[in-house]
Structure 1
Amino acid sequence: MKSIVLLLTHERLGAYQWGHLGAEDLARFSHDEAGIAEFKHWLSQQELQRYYLLTDLVEEDLQHEMVPHLNAKDQRALQERKLDQLFRATPYRRARIQLKGKRGEQDRLQLSALTSREQIDRILAELNTVKAAVAGVYSVSLLTQDMMAKLHSDLPHILVMSSCEAGQLRQSYFTPDGLRFSRLGTFNPEQEIALQAAEVANEIRRARQYLTTLRLMGREEQLTIFALFDSQMAAERETIWAALGDDAGQIDFSVQTDLQDLAKRLKLPKACHTWLDILVAMLVTQRPVNQYAPAEAIKYNGLYILGKGLFISAFIVLVCACILSGLSYFQAGQLQGQLAAGERRQQQLQQRQRQYSSLLKQVAASEPARLQAAVKMYREHIEFAPNVEALLRQISQILLDFPTLTLDEVKWAAGSDVSAEGTPVAPASQQDAAAAADPNAQPGGTPWLSQTLQLSGRVQDPNAYRAALAQVNALMQRLQLLPQAQVTVLQWPIDIRSESSIKAQADRSVSDEKGRHADFVIRLHLPAPTVPPQQELAP
């Protein structure tokens, strides 16, 4: 949506839009009936636009009052009451805290209003007729106040002089607290530039006399002039200075700036060459908060913003729906692939079942002994085969409680013990030895179902002998809690035999710091499980 600025002055109503070269003049309308008809016709031909109504009128009243420092709700009620007392006849009014005091102090309240409402009512009525999006009603003086707030000037007395149209001169007086008063003067724009400079000098002189009369500034204090003139009037600053005569010593012209430099400081586009360019750019690019328009006048702009928000929300929802649909499609493809794989697996199992069924039919019924031997072998050897993975998981869970012990090597053997080199040795128990001597015996289980693990590891600090022995001893006790476990410590972190030397072992641990052998070796033996007696198969 493009933006159009409607500038209302006493002479005419102008329409401007921002372009590459600055503010572009779209149309101008007089205040008579013909101008109103032209404005209606022009509005009917415009597409969807956002309108900013900017006023530069004499009929703008500005007052200040000191009010108690209240909370937000009470402050709004107080402001509405003050506005009703001062500006009951116009809806175009505004109140804001200009200087906020601390708790127990007072606030400086700025009250302003556009007291002449007829022309503004007529313009807003025509805009509402075509349902135009009106962003707000603004005044040059309050926009100048926003500009000075961004410049952060700390000079005690500043008179900002600007001109939106030829023959008009607005003077706005500022202190560090903000805008104190603003007035609009006129002069003949067709006279020579030197005479116009003399008129400007007279306006400066009258403004200073007015300020000293109201005691807003002392008679000996200097008034700083901040002149925002176009290039033609800016060249006449020396003429204005000379026209001040004896009052020139009380006027400070040192604080001046080029309009392009001012636009840069305000972060406005580079195409600002006139004061009107500055105002239009501030409204179009920075979109300040509405100043004077009542809620009824800007309702269509609110509806447009709401519709735009709903459109963006709907677009986001659509994007999210597309993403979720894509994920659902991807997951559906994965499920379809899994179903196809499951069907293939089912077909393979069915084919294998058919093969086994055909093979079963080929087996002679006269061979029950072979089937009985196969079942016996499964029950005695395969059904109770040792589960190494489950055993290692149990040992890993136990080692989690011993963070100072590091396991370097695990040697495992079934039916026999393991040596330090990992080779099988004789059975670990008499029960296993007897079972190994007589494979047909069944008292204690099949001998090869027994398991033997040799755990080799290191301690975190081998010099802490007591702690190392305690940790290894605690680990041994935990391993003994396993069902039917037989635990033997083959090597301790320190030789606890009476004939050993602690000093020699300490010297050896220091010398082997880079290539340390295992600090402890624990052998864990689990006997073969007892195979329950099985009923003989019928021949």
Structure 2
Amino acid sequence: MNKRILYQSDYELLAFSVKGKTLTAAQPFPINDKGEAQFARYLSQDVKTPIYWLLDTTQEEYQIALLPHVWGKDQLELMNHKKRRLFENAIYTYAIIQGRESQGRRDDLGLFMALNNPNLLQPWLNLIITFKIPLAGIYSLPLLSETLLKFLPKAPYTLLVAHTPPMGTHSAAGLRQSFFFKQKLQLSRLVPLDIQNSQQYTDYVLRQISTTHRYLENTRRLSQMEQPSPLSVVILTDINFLNTLKQRVKESLPGLTVHLIESHQFTQQLGLQIETTTLYLYHWVAYALTRRWYHNNHYAKPKENRYFFYRQLRLGIYFTSLLLLSGATITSWMIVAKAVVVKQQGQTVEDKIHKRQEELDKLKNRIPQLPLDSIVLIRNVVDVGSYIKAHHISPQAAWEKLSQSLSRHPTNLVLERLEWGIGEVKADIFQSYSKSTSPTDTEPANQTEADSTPYFLEGMRIYGKIDNIQDNLHQAAIMFRKFIDDLKQTDSWQIEEQRSPYDPNQALQGRIGPRLDTDEATFVIDIFIKHPYVKTSS
């Protein structure tokens, strides 16, 4: 995304754009009515591209202050109160917490900044608001210089020295000196620089660095650490003055660590592409500003950058709408794909139904005497076969156990008839022997056990009698009870007595008339065996 950069000094306003890693040539606007008219025409040509405004002025003040360590809203109110006390009449102020003290109460270290002359911004700001240009923010160039320190030699105390554009008609350039403690800005100085020859340039630069060094020592800015550390001076300059500085720096700045870096070499290190041959500090800061998606605004008021806020809000709505549209499209595609699969499955089932119907029609034609309920009959046969095949159930095992139990009892205990079947519930296997159905007859077979395993039932109904009891029903009852107890010893067998050869309740009832002689006692027993479902691969 293209971004426009405004660089303002006390002398002029420069406008250039950044596209990718390339900075275009700057367009100057003088600080007068003619410059304002030119700036208005410049803004009217493009009212959509956002503007990032860099300030590089001598009318910016810096203060370091200690604040009690608090959080959130209390911290914000404390900082605002401190700004009002330090800069009573200033309109444009900014404050930031840079860390905490290492000793004592461990108060917060705050940097407080202000523009002493708001008229410096007003003419240009009025035009930006008039054309409704999205203003991202108004930034202090020395404060944004912190972003360059990660590309420079690291040190606790750093003095960054670099060139700025001319500060007036009588100066060839400016010299910006910014002091950082632990990579955080403490103060900055901007002085005019007259470059006549390399010798005079070297003397002037070294003298200004010595002046700043003495000031830092006198204000005890270099004693903020328990263990003393030398001041690291980083000088960004052209190749023309680099060799002269190398010869003089050791004798002019004793005790300091000095790093000389050629401007074009540093530009290549950043990856910046620029057309001009004269490089200034604002080129690197502007490039670093556009490489990050967000920077805290320093001086712009909410009413001054409201159009940038509207722009960001509009972009957020567009992006959210795009996400919703993409999500709806993907969901619709998934629904359509699922509908196609369901349709294919339905078509497959329909084809199978037609095929089975054709086979059934052929069967009817082949066997005309087939009963009308043949479909139900065939289905029942298939269901029984499916049960047996699917669950591998054969009556042989149960019958063998039953025969073993019968062999252990007298021969007069006779088995007359045996019914066998499988089903989901007891009523599916046998009809109730009596007219009243037990509540357990309709209990579903696939209810879960303690181990949560579904099961089905295998059932046997035994019709039997006890011969030659010679009217001794009590003896028959004893033999029947032993047979029942024997059956109950078999694991997983559930025994239900449907009919008993002897009912004590009936025996105790009185009877008028002759005694009814009988030589046999009949009984009916249901045996149910639970079988878990066998999981088979589909």
Deviation at 1:127, TM superposition (A): 1.6
Amino acid at match of 1:230: D
1:228 aligned partner:
236
Task: Check if 1:257 corresponds to 2:265.
Answer: no
Q: Which residue of 1 aligns with 2:302?
A: 295
Residues 384 and 7 of structure 1: CA distance in aligned 2, closer, same or farther (over 3 Å): closer
SS state of the match for residue 296, structure 1?
coil
Q: 1:306 maps to what in 2?
A: 313
Per-residue deviation, 1:146: 3.6
CA distance in structure 1 between the partners assigned to 2:344 and 2:230 by the alignment: 88
Please give the per-residue CA displacement for 1:255-285, whole angstroms capped at 9, x wherever unaligned: 23344664577x6547698334312211111
What do residues 350-392 of structure 1 show as CA deviations (whole Å, max 9, x unaligned)? 77887888899x65xxxxxx979x99x9999989779325655
Instruction: Tell me if the contact between 1:198 and 1:239 (Cα under 8 Å) persists in the aligned partners.
Output: no
> Structure 2 CA distance, aligned partners of 1:234 and 1:298?
42
Q: CA deviation at 1:320?
A: 1.3
Deviation of 1:110 (Å) = 0.9
Structure-1 residue corresponding to 2:484: none
The CA deviation string for residues 329-355 of structure 1, in whole angstroms up to 9 with x for no partner, is: 223334444555566666667778878
* Whole-angstrom CA distance in 1 between matches of 2:361 and 2:9: 100
In structure 2, what is the equivalent of residue 323 of structure 1?
330
Deviation, structure 1 residue 2: 0.6
- Equivalent pair of 2:162/2:236 in contact (CA under 8 Å): yes
Work out which of the residue numbers 178, 181, 195 in structure 1 matches 2:187: 181
Q: What letter is aligned with 1:59?
A: Q
Task: Say if 2:201 is the partner of 1:196.
Answer: yes
Q: Contact 1:485–1:526 at 8 Å: present in 2 too? A: no
How many angstroms does 1:318 deviate by? 1.2
Aligned-residue CA RMSD in angstroms? Answer: 4.8
Q: Distance in 1 between matches of 2:268 and 2:357?
A: 83
Q: Distance in 2 between matches of 1:231 and 1:201?
A: 17
Provide the secondary structure at the position in 2 that maps to 1:170. strand
CA distance in 2, matches of 1:184, 1:12: 15
Is 1:149–1:178's contact at 8 Å kept on the other side of the alignment? no
Tell me, what secondary structure is at the counterpart of 1:25? coil
User: 1:206 corresponds to which residue?
Assistant: 211
CA drift at 1:58: 0.1
Uncovered stretches (5+) of structure 2, i.e. residues with no partner: 167-172, 407-414, 423-454, 463-489, 496-523, 527-538
Using the TM superposition, give the Cα deviation of residue 107 of structure 1 relative to its aligned residue in structure 2, in angstroms: 1.4
Asked if 1:286 corresponds to 2:292, the answer is: yes
Aligned residue type for 1:109 = G
Output one character per residue of 1:44-78: Cα deviation in whole Å (capped at 9) or x when no partner: 11253121111110001000111111122211100
Q: Determine the C-alpha separation between the residues in 1 that align with 2:194 and 2:147.
A: 29
Find out whether 1:162 has 2:169 as its counterpart: no
Q: Residues 242 and 262 of structure 2 are in contact (CA less than 8 Å); yes or no, is this contact kept in structure 1?
A: no
- 3-state SS of the aligned residue for 2:194? coil
In 2: Cα distance, 1:531 partner to 1:96 partner = 93
Shift of 1:201: 2.7
Counterpart of 1:317, as a letter, is L
Partner of 2:109: 108
- Corresponding residue SS for 1:90: coil
Cα distance in 1, alignment partners of residues 459 and 101 from structure 2: 81
Tell me by how many angstroms 1:100 deviates.
Answer: 2.0
* 1:237 has 2:245 as partner: yes
Instruction: Please give the TM-score of this superposition, normalised by the length of structure 1.
Output: 0.64
Percent identical among aligned pairs is: 19
Instruction: Give the counterpart letter for 1:95 in structure 2.
Output: A
Q: 1:283 & 1:383 partners in 2: Cα distance? A: 79
Aligned partners of 1:301, 1:2: CA distance in 2, in Å? 14
Compared CA separation, residues 12 and 371, structure 1 to 2 (3 A)? closer
Paired AA for residue 164 in structure 2: C
Q: Are 2:24 and 1:24 aligned? A: yes
**Residues 165-217 of structure 1 deviation map (CA, whole Å, 9 limit, x = unaligned):** 1421111123337322211101334x333323322233223223333443434
Cα distance in 2 for partners of 1:76, 1:379 equals 83
Q: CA deviation at 1:443?
A: 3.9
Task: Name the CA distance, whole Å, in 2 between partners of 1:38 and 1:50.
Answer: 18
Q: Secondary structure of 2:260's partner? A: coil
Partner AA of 2:260 in structure 1: Q
Could you say what secondary structure the match of 2:24 adopts?
A: strand
Change (3 A) 1:199 1:336: same
Looking at structure 1, the residues matched to 313 and 221 of structure 2 have their Cα atoms a distance apart, in angstroms, of: 46
Q: Distance in 1 between matches of 2:241 and 2:267?
A: 18
Alpha-carbon spacing, 1:231–1:19, altered in 2? closer, same or farther (3 Å): farther
SS at match of 1:297: coil
- Runs of 5+ consecutive residues of structure 1 not aligned to the other structure: 364-369, 393-411, 419-425, 434-441, 451-478, 487-521, 533-539
Q: Which AA in structure 2 matches 1:444?
A: R
Report the counterpart of residue 171 of structure 1 in structure 2: 177
Task: Find the counterpart in structure 1 of residue 74 from structure 2.
Answer: 74
Structure 1 312/22 Cα, relative in aligned 2: closer, same or farther at 3 Å? closer
Secondary structure of 1:256's counterpart equals: strand
C-alpha displacement at 1:128, in angstroms? 2.1
1:61 lines up with 2:68 in the alignment: no
Distance (Å, rounded) in 1 between the aligned partners of 2:26 and 2:242: 27
Could you tell me whether the CA contact under 8 Å between 1:160 and 1:172 is conserved in 2? yes
Describe the shift of the 1:211–1:87 C-alpha distance in structure 2 as closer, same or farther (beyond 3 A): same
Q: Distance in 2 between matches of 1:206 and 1:96?
A: 27
